[in-house]
Amino acid sequence: MDSPLGLLAELTYRCPLGCAYCSNPLNLADYQDELNTEQWRRVLAEASDLGVLQCHLSGGEPLLRRDLVEIVADANDLGLYTNLVTSALGLSRSRAEQLRTAGLDHVQISIQSDEPAGSDRIAGTPSFQRKVEAMGVVKELGWPLTVNVVLHRHNIDRVAGVLELAESVGADRVELANTQYYGWAWRNRAALLPSRAQLETAEVVVRAARERLRNRMDIIYVVSDYYGRYPKPCMGGWASRQLTVTPNGDVLPCPAAQPLPLPRASVRVDSLERIWADSPVMTAFRGTDWMPEPCRSCRRREVDFGGCRCQAFQLTGDAARTDPACHLSPDHELVVRAVEAANSGSTGGDRPMSPRPHRVR
């Protein structure tokens, strides 16, 4: 068993946006009792002792935590590399300067499209201009900047414009991540899944931009595994290199694992060290002994680790099944049917979506 390298600290699920692709859990009310400052301080210390090197401060919107500066300062004192994953709503210059003084190392700002009307429509609130202004503040204060865009049917055709926007604000890195279908995104999958033609066009644009900008900006393109032959690796293996602490203190191998029917582990009850080493939620799919066929005898079993346990559960109701995104999975037809529907000729634009509820208190 390896020590984890990264901690995703989901400080709150409150958020001013209402994105229909959000992967936060549907049962947001269950996470209102958030860890307080002292509890997060203990979590960070225990994570450092466990070997964690990187701390990603996320949500929801982490800027809604009034103690965010204190949390960043504590992480910095422990020698953790800190990355703020934010919508940038609430990142005023004064707040940014406080976070810079506290030792924040990196800022990742999400944006929904490259033009105001489309971005604001997807976000569910006017936000585009404030995001662009915040990107300018980030660069002026000397931080590395990552621009993150979750891609789906309603914005993937804007990839060229998104890359131009990222270049214009001086982004060091841009993440173009096709939607992963958990939480609200799962509920809205029929309206979000892009067509094959859309994906092929976007990939041509991304390849050209990588060539043109290879010495100026890193471009990460996360493909849609519904269209691949093999599934994405499961976080480098279940409970192998990463862990997540949710706003209420639950500890998970990844942020999408909330719905899995596994016993809960919480920092309110136990230490991160014991949870990482011994809790059922961490040991259930660690390694390869749990694997069914065809994974057990597959030469790729330590490459993609059977695929995503959360996606397997989402699609089949059994987290121990081979990820249906894999073309070798006995359940692959579930993905094939979804892809066929996305390519059936409908634009998807008339399909109703359930936006994530706005919560700021």
Q: Helix, strand, or coil here: 83? A: strand
* Tokens encoding 259: 């719905």
**280 burial level (CB within 10 Å; 0-12, 13-18, 19+):** exposed
The length of the chain is 361
Whether 175 contacts 341, CB under 8 Å: no
Q: Is 15 annotated as a binding residue?
A: yes
Which residue has 């066009």 as its token pair? 201
Q: What angle do CA 292, 297, 301 make, to 5 degrees?
A: 80
Was 22 annotated as part of a binding site?
A: yes
Q: Could you tell me the strand order of the sheet in which 173-178 lies? A: 218-222, 173-178, 145-151, 106-110, 81-86, 54-58, 6-10, 242-245, 251-252
Q: How many Cα atoms within 13 Å fall on the side-chain side of residue 304?
A: 23
234 is in an annotated binding site: no
- Which residue ranges make up the annotated binding site for [4Fe-4S] cluster? 15, 19, 22
- Which residue ranges make up the annotated binding site? 15, 19, 22
